[in-house]
Amino acid sequence: MFNIQEMMALVQEMQAGMERVKERLNDITVDAEAGDGMVRVFANGNKAILRIELSPEALKDKELLEDLLGAAVNKALDKAEDRARVEMERATSGMIPPGLDLGRLGLGF
């Protein structure tokens, strides 16, 4: 039988676990590059850009630099999102019924 109190307790437990994961994601760094390393972008697991490195060659061509920055930032954010998904799955393993969409409950990333 469906027990709303048990369901609410599970939701609260998942929310607390997800908050812990979000905190841990601040300590995870991913990086991505574009233009054979001309631009390198570092982000944390919460998709915050931490640092950008530019080679001297990248600074010679404004349009190229703009394109490379966009590509490297997008790659870094994709990696951060993938890493966050893995960490979240690890933290909630066995707690979430298959097919449950956490985004609809306000629990997803």
User: Mind listing the pLDDT tens digit for each residue in 29-60?
Assistant: 999 999 999 999 999 999 999 999 999 999 99
Partners of residue 51 on adjacent β-strands: 42
Residue type, 15: Q
Residue 109 has pLDDT above 60, yes or no: no
Record the pTM: 0.74
Q: Tens of pLDDT along 11-22?
A: 888 888 888 888
pLDDT score recorded for residue 95: 64
Domain range for residue 77?
A: 28-93
DSSP 46-107: TS-EEEEEE-TTGGG-HHHHHHHHHHHHHHHHHHHHHHHHHHHHHHHTTTSPTT--GGGGT-
| CATH value at residue 39 | 3.30.1310.10
Q: Does residue 4 fall inside a structural domain?
A: no
Q: Does residue 17 fall inside a structural domain?
A: no
User: Into how many domains does the chain fold?
Assistant: 1
Measure the CA–CA gap between 73 and 78, rounded to whole angstroms.
9
Q: What number of CA atoms fall less than 13 Å from residue 17's CA on the CB side?
A: 18
Measure the CA–CA gap between 73 and 104, rounded to whole angstroms.
28
